[in-house]
């Protein structure tokens, strides 16, 4: 998964920490989470079509899933992470 954040603010750091904890608790394992600061690496945001932060991309398994904005709704985040292959709608 790839998480795009805007800077290293307390809010961004909290988002990263809470997402890691949620995945650990719900899935029973740590997830491979790449954190991208859109200010430090704007080319990655542009490449992935990210225009707002936070944005969470589930890269694998295909198809790519995208969740934009508030990530505090745990059920919404978990649904995005665990969506069945074959559905083609973005969450959120």
Domain residue ranges of the chain, discontinuous segments joined by +: 2-82
Residue-averaged pLDDT of the chain: 86
Helix (H) or strand (E) holding 3: strand 2-5
Q: Mind listing the pLDDT tens digit for each residue in 20-53?
A: 998 888 877 767 889 999 999 999 999 999 999 9
Contacts 24+ apart (CB under 8 A), 72-77: 72/18, 74/22, 74/26, 77/19, 77/22
Top CATH class of 2-82 equals alpha beta
| Entry pTM | 0.82
């Amino acid at each position: 998964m790839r998480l795009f954040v805007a800077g290293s603010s307390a809010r961004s750091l909290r988002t990263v920490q809470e997402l890691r904890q949620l995945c650990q608790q719900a899935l029973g394992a740590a997830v491979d989470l790449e954190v991208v600061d859109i200010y430090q690496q704007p080319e990655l945001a542009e490449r992935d079509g990210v225009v707002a932060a936070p944005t969470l991309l589930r890269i694998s398994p295909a198809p790519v899933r995208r969740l934009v904005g508030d990530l505090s709704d745990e059920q919404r985040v978990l649904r995005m992470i665990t969506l069945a292959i074959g559905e083609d709608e973005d969450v959120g």
